[in-house]
A = this chain, B = another copy of it.
Amino acid sequence: MLANTPDPPYWAVIFTSCRTETADGYGETASRMVELASRQPGFLGVDSARDGIGITVSYWESEEAIQAWHANAEHRLAQRDGYAKWYSAFELRVAKVERAYGFRTANPAQPTETDPTDR
């Protein structure tokens, strides 16, 4: 359910947004962009949730992989519609993930990478 990413370092694109009331094509395009992104070289995973605001975090092997995805022709058309129709506001942040840890109750029951108590 949550994205499975390798050990850091890797990159994250944090996209937060407020939607307009224009639904026109949004859902289809959003699904299509996740599908397209997941086929890009260097794509590692994505997490997404919307309630009030939307947050989508995609994970990438390198900055170059992010730039290639940004420049993808079909993605660029979707970005244009995002500005013109779907978003009243957004922020996009490109960040280098330096440390990570997690836990899953199923397997394993303990933190997966490093002990969070020493953070």
Contacts and interface: CB of A to CB of B under 8 A. Distances in A.
A100 B83 CA distance: 16
A74 interface: no
A51 B49 contact: yes
A92 interface: yes
When all copies of this chain in the complex are counted, the total is 2
Interface residues of A, number: 48
Interface string A20-42: 10000000000000000000000
27 contacts: A1-B52, A2-B90, A3-B91, A5-B91, A5-B93, A8-B93, A12-B95, A14-B97, A16-B47, A20-B105, A49-B50, A49-B52, A49-B54, A51-B51, A55-B55, A79-B116, A83-B103, A88-B104, A88-B106, A89-B102, A89-B105, A91-B101, A91-B102, A92-B116, A93-B100, A94-B97, A95-B96
